[in-house]
Amino acid sequence: MDPIKVDFSKKDSGRKKDIVIPPEKAGLKIVLSVVCTLIFAAVAFYVMLPAINLKSYDFYLYLGLCAASYVVFNGLFSNVMGKPEYTPFVKKQAIVPGIIIGVLLVAVAIGYLVSCEFFRASSYSQIIDVRTDSNFSQEIQEQDAASFSQIPKLDEEAAAQLATRALGVLEEKGYVSQFTVYPEYTQINYKETPVRVAPLQYANIIKWFTNTKNGFPGYVVIDMANESTEFVETENSIKYSPAEHFNKLLKRHLRFQYPTFMFADATFEIDDEGNPYWICARLDKTIGLFGGTDVIGAVVVKADSENGESAYYTIDQIKNENTLQWLDRIYDSDLIVEQYNYYGKYQNGFWNSVLGQRDVITTTANYNYIAKDDDVWMYTGVTSVTSDQSITGFVLVNQRTKEAVYYRVTGGTEYSAQQAAQGRVKDLGYTATFPLLLNIGGEPTYFLSLKDDSNIVQQYALINVAQYNNNKMGATGTDLAKCLASYVSALEDSGIKVDIDPSEVVDPTPVEPEKELATASGVIADIRTAVMSGNSYYYIKLDSSPAYFSIAASTDETVVILNKGDNVTITYEGSGAIIEADSIVLN
């Protein structure tokens, strides 16, 4: 027998090589893993709705999850948890997905670096163009009696409080408790009037099941000047909405039509004829791969079309085409604030924004809207980064065109004005709304509404911006005319001539006309009850009338103690088979 030859000259590499043992039917398991990954990718896309765009973080996350899902499925089909000997096989199958995930991470890291403010501060400072050679008293129209009456008096919270009142109309149309107001109140100019418009949403998931086929019957309009609300029923119901689900969800509807577009949150608007639309701004990253978010166009979706009809317009079309002038909100307020803060922060480079902070400015804590040139302009105070009580000026930005103008005005911040207004009525405990900026006699002036605990406006205030802490340079009043008269008097005492007659100011708050009521007397022949929206309603038929009179127990408690045979007198308004009663008196 030949001797065994052993070569002791070779050194052990020290690395133990994994023995790859493929599971039974390994090829089939790989195919199944691929199929399940494709199914996962389709479901994930349907749920996540990422833009197929290399400038979207969500797209990289989506691709990474799909790659990782292949490894998970392969491990499941190989039963790697039950049979650890298949671990090398699964690891080998994970090489390609691992490389994909690694490439994605490197791409995101590089994209972040080339978009970083540290390297691109100059580009960030130029993302918005701001005109600074402006004059507030000359460019902002002075308030006259007519325009003063059209001042928006409600903030979003007060508008929301009023909006729910408009839903009473839905009960008459057979939609009792089916819908609530969607918490998105877009402020626009509608027929030269400042209004907020709000769509509907389903009261709960059960109401969605029973109503989604027909959609939403209309929308709510809140008049910001006369503090009134109206429910507007559309000719065709609204089928696509952020409050919908599955394929009727607006975001999903847009993603399938425009798979590569990155969108801002959709806003609800109406055109000059009252037709409802969803305005969906298209975003782009203008600095590096992920930085410098800006608007480059918008998709306009006809809200009450059966198939979600839409059209895309570039930002140049929106700015220049007359047929699109009704659009009011293309640039989101938060995006405008972000861009202006970049402008104010990096005018002298990155390091100056951190160390010396020379000429570094920022916006104040909130913003409001004014009507100018038939557009909605967002405005906010501008202050030094080292100051928290005074402003250096205001910036006004057109939300349709992004035209930005800076007005140099020194004085108190909006928060300071709120504190000053509340201090004037501190014994009443009212809360001041975020102020509106007005030009009264050439003087920048804050206008505020003072609300009670129920978010109902009770008084108004005018606070001089420059002399906000001067108790004589402000006024409050229970109506517009009185408030303005006090403020004008204060200005004239300081030598400022004001060309406005407070007595000509008409408070547009509507006064409900007195009801023309009729009466009916007789013996109760029939009485029935029903509970609707948590209220007990009584339906009473008299022997002298074929109609039933309806009244809620919360309206007149007398109805609770009535019985058949009682002789009563009912005060009512209207006609029909069921008539709403105003009151009931037991004779």
Residue 87 in any domain: the answer is: yes
Q: Is 0.85 topped by the overall pTM?
A: no
**Residue-wise pLDDT tens for the chain (587 aa)?**
455 455 555 555 555 567 888 888 999 999 999 999 999 999 999 999 999 999 999 999 999 999 999 999 999 999 988 888 889 999 999 999 999 999 999 999 999 999 999 999 999 999 999 999 999 988 998 998 888 888 999 888 888 888 887 887 777 677 778 999 999 899 999 988 899 999 999 999 999 999 999 999 999 999 998 888 999 999 899 999 999 999 999 999 999 999 999 999 999 999 999 999 999 999 999 999 999 999 999 999 999 999 999 999 999 999 999 999 999 999 999 999 999 999 999 999 999 999 989 999 999 989 999 988 889 999 999 999 887 779 999 999 999 999 999 999 999 999 999 999 999 998 888 999 999 999 999 999 999 999 998 888 999 999 999 998 888 899 999 889 999 999 999 999 988 888 888 888 877 655 444 556 788 999 999 998 887 655 678 889 999 888 889 888 877 888 888 999 999 999 888 777 788 888 898 88
Same domain, 36 and 168: no
Residue 311 in any domain: the answer is: yes
Distances (CA, A) of 281 to 7, 160, 190: 74, 24, 20
Same domain, 159 and 208: yes
Domain boundary among 115, 144, 169: 115
Same domain, 261 and 168: yes
Residue 105 in any domain: the answer is: yes
Same domain, 168 and 307: yes
CB atoms within 10 A of CB 292: 18
The tokens describing 486, both together, are 């006090």
pLDDT, residue 511, reads: 47
Residues 6+ away with beta carbon under 8 Å from 316: none
Same domain, 306 and 251: yes
Domain boundary among 281, 301, 330: 330
In sequence order, what DSSP letters do the residues of 171-240 get, joined into one string?
HHTT-TTSEEE-S--EEEEETTEEEEEE-EEESSHHHHHHHTTT-EEEEEEEETTTTEEEEEEEEEEE--
Same domain, 166 and 103: no
pLDDT, residue 419, reads: 94
Same domain, 172 and 281: yes
Cβ pair 392, 361 in contact under 8 A = yes
Residue 147 in any domain: the answer is: no
pLDDT, residue 533, reads: 55
Domain boundary among 301, 330, 359: 330
Residue 492 in any domain: the answer is: no
Same domain, 111 and 167: no
In CATH, what number is assigned to the domain containing residue 535? 2.40.50.140
Residue 253 in any domain: the answer is: yes
Same domain, 255 and 181: yes
Residue 135 in any domain: the answer is: no
Residue 558 in any domain: the answer is: yes
Same domain, 157 and 72: no
Beta strands in 239-389 (DSSP E): 262-263, 267-270, 276-287, 291-302, 310-314, 361-363, 368-372, 375-384
Q: Domain span at residue 30?
A: 26-115
Q: How many domains does the chain have?
A: 3
